[in-house]
Amino acid sequence: MRARILVIDDDRSMCELLDESLGAAGYDVAWQLNPEDGIEALQRRDFDVVITDLNLEGASGIELCRRIKENRPNTPVIVITGFADMSAAVDAIRAGAHDFISKPVELPVLQHAIERSLKFRHLR
């Protein structure tokens, strides 16, 4: 069974890029441009991993991570950002993020983070 990945990012081109590249790598990818739509998607369907941007239009990736962990505590969240700094990484981890990756996202690094997250989910 293919792992189900939900991408939440307000950048359509990033969503499409991750959809195409992760889909080609064998994952079942869905994406949402709006954080609220992402939360609704999680309520309708179980995803194995969520990937979200740190800075979303009108929302914080940190707050989104908290909300996901409240509703789906066993779903690992990978936070990506173009504005990487140590305090943002610490805030993301404290909010429940399983991993934190800087943009530009290198596909092998992201795939490794996804595989670690899937192992974590399986162990839980």
Instruction: Classify 112 as helix, strand or coil.
Output: helix
What is the per-residue pLDDT for 64?
92
Whole-prediction pTM: 0.93
Q: Where are the beta strands (DSSP E) in 19-89?
A: 28-32, 49-53, 55-56, 59-60, 77-81
Above 70 in pLDDT, residue 84?
no
Which residue's entry shows tokens 């939440």?
8
Instruction: Classify 55 as helix, strand or coil.
Output: strand
CATH number listed for the domain at residues 4-123:
3.40.50.2300
Maximum Cα–Cα distance across the chain: 37
What is the per-residue pLDDT across 42-68, written as a single tens digit (0 to 9) for each? 999 999 999 999 888 878 888 999 999
**Integer CA distances (angstroms), 21 to 17, 27, 119, in order:** 6, 9, 21
pLDDT, averaged across the chain:
91
**Domain boundaries in the chain?**
4-123
- Looking at per-residue pLDDT, the higher value among 88 and 74 belongs to 74
